[in-house]
Amino acid sequence: MREVSEMTKRIFVFGLIGLALILAGCGTLFGPGPKNIANNPIPLTPVDPSAIPAMETLPVRIDGDYIQGEIIVGYRDEASLYQVLSLVNGRIKHQTPQINAALVELSGMSVPEALGRIAWAVRRGELKGIRYAEPNYLRELIEPLPATNPEVMGAILPKVYDPNIDLRPYQWGLDAVRAEEAWNYATGQGIIVAVVDTGVDGLHPDLEGQVIGEWFDAWNLTWISGYDSSWEPVYSSVYQRWFEGSHGTHVAGIIAAKNDGVGVVGLAPAVQILSIRIFSPDPVLAGRTYFVGDYNAAVGIIEAVEYGARVLNNSWGGKGYSQTLKAAIDYALMNGAVFVVSMGNSYLDEVGYPAGYPGVIAVGATNAQDKKVDFSTVGGHISVSAPGDRVLSCVPRWMEQDGTGLPLLYDYWGGTSMAAPHVSALAAMVLERNPTATPYQVKRIIEQTATDIEAPGFDQRTGYGRIDAAHAAQTTTLPGEGASVAVFAVTKSSGFPIPYMDITLRKNGIDRYFGQTDFEGYYHGFFSDWGYGFFLEIEPGIYEVIIGGEDTTLYWWSWMRVANRVTARETVTLGPGMNDPVVLEVNTTLQVTLTWDEPVDLDLAVWEYDPVNGTYVWSTPKTGALWGTFSGDAQTGGSETYTLVVPHWDWDVYLLAIDASNASATATASITVMQNGVTEVYGPYSVQAGGFYPSNTWEGWWENTPHPFFGVTGPGGPVVY
């Protein structure tokens, strides 16, 4: 334990990134189900294992849309990266040494196959220097909701603006957060805020001089001099031109529009805006509105930090847990940059990323009545709320007024995209006052000074409340530091680290932080420097640490039922600074019971496949198995049970079927699966005499669906057919 602790501390000190996992989360590759299938009476002949084709790849889960033709590989050493290149017939498109990640272009191989080949090689112990491999998942802009009825607190707001009039009276959000009083203490002087977004119109009359005259194009992974106002020569479509840079410009205006008595004013008007354009330059590329791959987003984040941004505003998100994005955000936090994210406009209680990563400030939206706006996404990972309804801010010069052809310049938009920049501005003000504050301390000051709204105290709809800029900007007493901790999941029987496990940190009954154990650990011996989930800069306190894994994933034809249930939990107290690692043991016993009443002889049939040894074991009749035992070969009704104790994490696959070849008549049978105290019953199924149920043939079960068996993964292994 001591050794782990010191190793972990060393990693932290040297700024390496604790990397969690790939290919997890919640999506599914498979269609909805279940489907009814007919019992097929044709007998199955037990198979000669040598006849089964050799595997070169493992099936992998992919949790969301991704960019075709490329994968992201996180590596420990370059030699392993080059091994991967030859394995997947790829070439390095780009490398990011700060997080040891590479974007690998594939030629002629699909993303699932490439990832499967890497997983297979890792499983065989042939790729010891790879931390993870994952798809380049897509993230999308959190689209704003233009206000159709720009009426706030009884005042009808102007729709066509004279750029020479003062629009401050229409910025209700600045009243709500007490901007003018806050400006007595701070205006964001000397702080660079990166707007990681669609680009910013740096020559907008209210942003000219507020925006740094070079910007990073994360789509092409290059810095460009001047302002991101490339719209005119590039797009012929009015629609495209209309949207180009509009989101980022609106966000930038909320943060830093000039306090010059005309137009609008930003909450931190002395801030310098750095435009990091991560989104597709063409807003409607491939029929998709504004998107980016995780790799490009990660590079944009790292470039912003390297440039000197102390605050990063991120009004975007998506599904799928990305190691690469997590690494980039940890890099920002470790370098003292505050990472602000929109919660999302989904109306739902759900976790997206980057909002769900530990250490970020996830922001919900409030309206002029100080209530949560309906669309604002709910969840225990929320930090605070800020004005995000009918927010008046800048739009690019090329957006035109309806019918007149004149520039619109300003417009009312709503969304958590508009709430986040209020918090980014405030973070800059807090940093101006407290230059040595860590990202956690900045977050904590903003939380502690927020005005509690809705349910008393922290709540999952509005976090610690609606921000109060005047209160936060006055604060010069630093709160305690954040807590950091590594969480390991290990097998109960032998203490091996288990990759692919979801970790939840629950505080006061609310799920606050999410992580995942990573690819490695298993192949580097006990408690290597990887193989855990890392939580950086979180709130100290008493937590229930919960390890949930897809420890029992059952398949029934094209229907996959993912049981992402609790497998281990422990209550720990996390203090400020680096804590000793938390090691949770996962029970890896699986019990399968076949039950029936009819006076016939059914047999529970189990195939086990061990991909490392390439062996299949057909466990019918009752000959025992690699790691399990049978009990009760019932001949005339009753039950038979197979108990499996896996001593280590594995990719092994267990396929279940009902062997009715000895049955003399139709019987009604059920299969009960028990693991970690959870029992699930499948069936009852009407099983005809003479064959195997649910199918008659094993051929192609690996490669093709529908699969002839129930499949049960080894403990900890999420993947499998």
Q: Which is nearer to Ca ion, 105 or 454 (CB)?
A: 454
Site for Ca ion in 414-473 (CB under 5 A): 452, 454-455, 459
Strands 710-713, 541-556: parallel, antiparallel or unpaired by DSSP?
A: antiparallel
Residue number of the CB closest to Ca ion reads 263
Q: What is the nearest approach in angstroms of Ca ion to the Cβ of residue 687?
A: 12
**Which two three-digit tokens encode residue 348?**
């739902």
Provide the 10 A C-beta neighbour count for residue 704: 10
Site for Ca ion in 303-342 (CB under 5 A): none
Q: Which is nearer to Ca ion, 335 or 662 (CB)?
A: 662
106-114, 209-217, 229-237, 259-267 -> range binding Ca ion (CB under 5 A): 259-267
Q: Which is nearer to Ca ion, 150 or 205 (CB)?
A: 205
SS3 (DSSP) at 655: strand
Task: Kindly state the number of chain residues that form the binding site for Ca ion, as judged by CB under 5 A.
Answer: 13
d(CA 328, CA 18): 11
Q: What is the nearest approach in angstroms of Ca ion to the Cβ of residue 465?
A: 5
28-36, 257-265, 357-365, 574-582 -> range binding Ca ion (CB under 5 A): 257-265
d(CA 43, CA 693): 9
Number of residues in the chain: 721
Of the candidates 383, 356, 388, which has an alpha carbon nearest to the alpha carbon of residue 371? 388
DSSP string, 299-360: HHHHHHHHHT-SEEEE-EEBSS--HHHHHHHHHHHHTT-EEEEE--S-SSB---BTTTSTTS
Q: What is the nearest approach in angstroms of Ca ion to the Cβ of residue 13?
A: 37
Strands 311-314, 615-618: parallel, antiparallel or unpaired by DSSP?
A: unpaired
Q: What is the nearest approach in angstroms of Ca ion to the Cβ of residue 167?
A: 8
21-29, 67-75, 203-211, 287-295 -> range binding Ca ion (CB under 5 A): 203-211
Q: What is the nearest approach in angstroms of Ca ion to the Cβ of residue 633?
A: 5
Provide the 10 A C-beta neighbour count for residue 254: 35
**Is residue 328 within a helix (H) or strand (E), and if so which, with residue range?**
helix 323-334
Residue 226, CA atoms < 13 Å, CB-side half-sphere: 3
Q: What are phi and psi of 502, to 5 degrees?
A: -80, 140
Q: Does 208 bind Ca ion (CB under 5 A)?
A: no
Tell which one of 258, 397, 648, 707 touches Ca ion (CB under 5 A). Answer: 258
Query: Would you call the peptide bond into 233 cis, given omega within 30 degrees of 0 as the criterion?
Result: no
188-196, 207-215, 610-618, 625-633 -> range binding Ca ion (CB under 5 A): 625-633
Q: Does 180 bind Ca ion (CB under 5 A)?
A: no
d(CA 298, CA 278): 9
Provide the 10 A C-beta neighbour count for residue 668: 14
Chain centre distance of CA 70: 19
Q: What are phi and psi of 272, to 5 degrees?
A: -100, 130
Q: At what angle do helices 246-256 and 416-433 cross, to 10 degrees?
A: 40
Of the candidates 470, 547, 499, 412, which has an alpha carbon nearest to the alpha carbon of residue 719? 499
Q: Does 206 bind Ca ion (CB under 5 A)?
A: yes
Q: Which is nearer to Ca ion, 214 or 452 (CB)?
A: 452
Site for Ca ion in 230-249 (CB under 5 A): none
Residues noted as catalytic: 197, 247, 417
Q: What is the nearest approach in angstroms of Ca ion to the Cβ of residue 601?
A: 5
Q: Which is nearer to Ca ion, 23 or 604 (CB)?
A: 604
Site for Ca ion in 354-383 (CB under 5 A): none
Q: Which is nearer to Ca ion, 266 or 359 (CB)?
A: 266
Q: What is the nearest approach in angstroms of Ca ion to the Cβ of residue 239?
A: 28
Please answer whether residues 680 and 672 qualify as being in contact, where contact means their C-beta atoms are separated by less than 8 angstroms: yes
Q: Which is nearer to Ca ion, 103 or 671 (CB)?
A: 671
Please report, as a single letter, which amino acid is at residue 537. E
Q: Does 598 bind Ca ion (CB under 5 A)?
A: no
Site for Ca ion in 260-299 (CB under 5 A): 260, 263, 265
Site for Ca ion in 627-656 (CB under 5 A): 633-634
Please answer whether residues 283 and 289 qualify as being in contact, where contact means their C-beta atoms are separated by less than 8 angstroms: yes
251-259, 412-420, 480-488, 674-682 -> range binding Ca ion (CB under 5 A): 251-259
Q: Which is nearer to Ca ion, 61 or 461 (CB)?
A: 461
Q: What is the nearest approach in angstroms of Ca ion to the Cβ of residue 260?
A: 5
Residues that bind Ca ion (CB under 5 A): 206, 258, 260, 263, 265, 452, 454-455, 459, 601, 603, 633-634
